[in-house]
Amino acid sequence: MPTSDLAAVARRYAVAITPEMAALIEGDPATDPIGRQFVPQAAELDRAADELSDPIGDHRFEPVKGIVHRYPDRVLLKPSHVCPVYCRFCFRREDVGPGGGVLNERELAAALDYVRARPAIWEVVVTGGDPFVLAPRRLHAIVSALDVIPHVGVIRFHTRVPIVAPDRVDSALIAALAAETAVYVVVHANHPRELTAAARAAFARFLGAGIPLLSQSVLLKGVNDDAATLEALFRGLVAMRVKPYYLHHLDLAPGTAHFRTGLAAGQALMRQLRGRVSGLCQPSYVLDLPGGYGKVPVGPCYARPGDAPDTWCIEDPHGTRHAYPPDADTTAPDRSPPLWD
């Protein structure tokens, strides 16, 4: 990429990559699945007509600074807009970066007061930016404040740190998350090459402290848009005791069209995974609707109403359709399912 193009992208969007991720890039960053995620490309300066500065409507549902309240029972708490790496496809790329900063004491207090005042809020998702760039002391203050709110039942952290900067997951960070309230950590991983020995060790430190791990991934052209890569990613995560939670269809953030697949392509990939990997390895394929209307599953459907009342036509993982309940005369000599290829 010409230096002038890199400078133009850097003026528009934040750029950062950790040594751990830089070491994983093999060959041309523009085609390498790790390089594509973190190294700027000139295509980021091309904004498609359907791309949005706030693609999932965060700003529309921000009653106080640092809080996004789109669902009745949960809120996002964004104490920081800083990340150790800046993904080139980030849906918050207009907000994150070194200039995004952190909530000051007054702003954080107001955000926590918002949660305290609303008994319907059962889950607080601490995100950003990446919350694990905060000092353990500050993390502990946030966890401790949420821990004593009676109606908060879950504190969930969204982070890339265990993968992109695993050394940050030390005893101080783990201690900062100690709470009576259930604490979950959701890690962001997109390619099996990210599941390094150092990442495994970071995961183990959370798990050793009794903190469950989930993962979320983004479907990205040229990174993980084939069944073999997704299978390896999800199997690798499960083997490290991380449950795949979401596979996100890429949001309509500015300058990200070169990463975007079609919904039909995503559904086809999920069909290929069905039956080939266990349910432990199956995330929900979801789309966050533009405008803040919420996250919905968009994976393939295997059931449709049958021709007769109270009957269904069900498609198996091979694509063969079956009546449900079965017809009365379907007592063929061999009812065993076909062997997998």
Question: Are residue 58 and residue 137 in the same domain, yes or no?
Answer: yes
Q: Which of 87, 138, 156, 260 is catalytic?
A: 87
Residue type at position 150: P
295 is catalytic: yes
Question: Are residue 326 and residue 184 in the same domain, yes or no?
Answer: no
**200: in domain:** yes
Question: Are residue 308 and residue 196 in the same domain, yes or no?
Answer: no
Question: Are residue 10 and residue 50 in the same domain, yes or no?
Answer: yes
Q: Which of 32, 36, 83, 193 is catalytic?
A: 83
> Model-level pTM?
0.94
Interval 28-43: pLDDT, tens: 999 999 999 999 999 9
93 is catalytic: no
90 is catalytic: yes
Interval 54-84: pLDDT, tens: 999 999 999 999 999 999 999 999 999 999 9
Q: Which domain holds residue 323?
A: 302-336
Please compute, for residue 179, the number of CA atoms within 13 A of its CA located in the half-sphere on the CB side. Answer: 25
Q: In what order do the strands lie in the sheet with 123-126?
A: 67-71, 74-77, 123-126, 154-159, 182-188, 213-218, 243-248, 284-289, 294-297
Q: Dihedral sign for Cα 298, 47, 92, 134, please.
A: positive
**Which pLDDT does position 336 carry in this prediction?**
62
Q: Which of 13, 32, 36, 70 is catalytic?
A: 70
Question: Are residue 307 and residue 245 in the same domain, yes or no?
Answer: no
Q: How far is the C-alpha of 247 from the C-alpha of 189, rounded, in Å?
A: 10
Give how far Cα 172 sits from Cα of 86, 138, 145, Å: 24, 11, 18
Q: Which of 32, 54, 95, 251 is catalytic?
A: 251
Question: Are residue 291 and residue 308 in the same domain, yes or no?
Answer: no
Q: Which of 74, 78, 138, 156 is catalytic?
A: 74
**341: in domain:** no
313 is catalytic: no
What total of structural domains would you count in the chain? 2
Q: Which of 13, 54, 90, 285 is catalytic?
A: 90
CATH at residue 177: 3.20.20.70
Question: Are residue 32 and residue 160 in the same domain, yes or no?
Answer: yes
Question: Are residue 167 and residue 246 in the same domain, yes or no?
Answer: yes
**118: in domain:** yes
Question: Are residue 328 and residue 273 in the same domain, yes or no?
Answer: no
86 is catalytic: no
**139: in domain:** yes
Tokens (6 digits) for 127:
């995100």
Q: Which of 36, 78, 88, 92 is catalytic?
A: 92
**309: in domain:** yes
Q: What is the CA radius of gyration of the chain?
A: 22
**Which pLDDT does position 72 carry in this prediction?**
96
251 is catalytic: yes
Which phi and psi (to 5°) does residue 80 adopt?
A: -150, 145
Interval 242-260: pLDDT, tens: 999 999 999 999 999 999 9
Question: Are residue 189 and residue 322 in the same domain, yes or no?
Answer: no
Q: What percent of the chain has pLDDT over 70?
A: 95
**105: in domain:** yes
Question: Are residue 100 and residue 149 in the same domain, yes or no?
Answer: yes
